[in-house]
A and B are shown apart, each in its own frame.
Chain A
Amino acid sequence: MADRIRLLERRDIDELIILDVSKRAPRFNEIHALTDPLFCPVTVGGGVKSIADMRRLLAGGADKVSLNSAGLARPDLIEEACQKFGSQAVVVSIDVGRGLAADEAISWAVECERRGAGEILLTSMDRDGMMDGYDLEVIRSVSSAVSIPVIAAGGCGSYDDMVAAFQAGAHAVGVGAAFQFKEMTPKGAARYLAAHGIATRI
């Protein structure tokens, strides 16, 4: 896993998001081993329940921590985290589909922004790994309701999908399966986006 992650950085991604979906408490040592060799900004999430968890992850090399169910269960945690670590370190991860319905996602995103969150990681759960396009409707409605950056995730299968997500209002795009299973590269994506009028670091 560490090799694969180092390789992603070598392939010139801008940032990395590592989510542990096993529903267990964060395994700090393992995560640290994964993030330690990296230079790019890293967001870590999965099983984060408390300020103490966040502190350990940030101290161990994460640049940002993503809150999901713990934030929903106790929205005050978002504010506390922003006071302790700054908004730039607090990402709220919103799962649309199997998590929240689209309209719930909009109002929750607005509340997260009000409570100080620095970014929204917006994932369409039903599209995750399918590589047949982002949920543009959800991206459009959530990103127009907030002014903090929205990272669109779930469904990317082509460079055109990325362009569409940006045009729908996403501030960044998350790509998982497509960089593993298709003849697509982060650098190729940057060039394509730049050629289609989206300001991108090449």
Chain B
Amino acid sequence: MRLFRCTRCLYPNTKPDIWFDDAGLCSACQAFDKRATVDWAAKQREFVELIQANKGKTHDCIVACSGGKDSTWQIVKCLELGLRPLAVTASTDHLSDVGRRNLENISKLCNHVIVTPNRAIRRRIAKFALMEVGDISWCEHHLIWSVPAREAVARNIPIVLYGECPQNEYGAGPAGSERASKLDDAWVHEFGGLLGLRLDDVADILGLAERDLELYRRPAAVGAVFMGAYFPWDGHRNYAIAAQHGFMPFDRTVEGSLCAYENLDNLQTGLHDLLRWFKFGYSRACDIACNHIRRGRMTRDEAVRAVHAVESQSWDTYLGIPLRDILTHIDVTLAEWRGAVDRFANHEVVQWASQPASFQSFSGDRTDASKDDSGISPVVSVRWPTESGSLSAATSTS
């Protein structure tokens, strides 16, 4: 597979679901360029009309809320527009101190509901998901969709607001896809980070009761919308505004990042991002630098220096907590962690991405390389009835 980066930002073609146009511009940059043609004042009016037409009795909408800079900004924006939001938080995997302070701040702005599934079960699932699908945040990826939607149904508040659309902001999937501002089950499965592992698979493999997974199940037909489809998204600006309303950054630049204001609530995020680097060769620092490049706050050269500096360091803490302790929380040893990294790492990609020269490899001369040329794509799995004889017998003896 040919490895290259976007001609404008630093995203590599190893980033899942990223697409490149013929000039080598990635789908995140393409989506950003489309903003110039949007009438944002009209979009804002459309947003308010949408909420007003679908509001609940005592609250107008739900904001799916981690307590971070973006959800704080969302609540502030809703209040500014005269809306009455209800903040709903699906408890995170492993809450940090600064994350707790910021969650407490939310209830100074509006009503706040926090839903917490059984933590003992959740730790088992987290360990399983880390070891089997290489995703320590699998529970969180489910709960951020299911918990606010369940509250929406229970409280009869029809609309749940999410932040930025990952497709538009981070280029996941074809730019400008019809589905980019709409959330449905198919979207969640395709782009929502669930990695092809279903709740029912987990229930069967770990022997869980229906009750154990109830809060993870997303009710059908809840009107979930990305606010990023109505407001020009900018995490940096969101932080500036959130900070005026009580949001606190970390006391120093976060490990593996370029700022002190992002990904502060969940200690496991550090491990998630580390594993992501080993799988795909791009870091959180790269995400942030790319956002700065697109908005003209960093030149490409400045971004390359910053990202390469972060990506060539190693660290053994996240938000100041030793990674070993964060792993212990889900009953994973350092040796098990290293085993998982080994299994899921793509050494060729990591080696390439670690070299300064990789930042100079643009995709200008590529020929159809946006379609991963590993070629082996369709996978069909088969269910045989037992009557078909030797075939299923072979399965049961294997």
Contact = CB atoms under 8 A, between A and B. Distances in A.
**A, B assembled together:** yes
Interface of A: 1, 3-8, 10-22, 24, 27, 30-31, 34, 39-41, 46, 63, 88, 149, 151, 153, 162, 166, 171-176, 179-190, 193, 198-201
Given A16-B379, A18-B376, A185 B200 contact: yes
Contact of A11 (B134, B197, B344, B380): B197
A187 B204 contact: yes
Given A7-B133, A10-B132, A200 B198 contact: no
Contact of A41 (B132, B185, B376, B394): B394
Contacts of B396: 201
Contact of A179 (B196, B375, B377): B196
Interface stretch (B66-74, B263-271, B281-289, B383-391): B383-391
12 contacts: A7-B133, A14-B392, A17-B382, A22-B373, A30-B374, A151-B382, A172-B383, A174-B381, A175-B382, A182-B185, A185-B198, A198-B385
A116 to B, nearest CB: 16
Given A13-B381, A15-B382, A171-B388, 9 more contacts: A14-B392, A22-B376, A63-B394, A153-B380, A180-B190, A183-B185, A183-B198, A186-B201, A189-B383
Interface string B170-199: 000000000000000110011000011111
B328 interface: no
B398 interface: yes
Contacts, number: 155
A149 B380 CA distance: 17
Residue of A7, A34, A183, A185 with highest tally of chain B CB at under 10 A: A183
Nearest to A88: B390
A182 B185 CA distance: 8
B383 A173 contact: yes
Interface residues of B, number: 41
B335 interface: no
B37 interface: no
Contacts of A20: 375-377
A199 B190 CA distance: 32
Contacts of A174: 380-382
Nearest to A19: B378
A7 B390 CA distance: 24
B350 to A, nearest CB: 16
B205 interface: yes
Contacts of B344: 3
A190 B383 contact: yes
B379 A199 contact: no
B395 interface: yes
B382 A13 contact: yes
Contacts of A162: 383
B398 A40 contact: yes
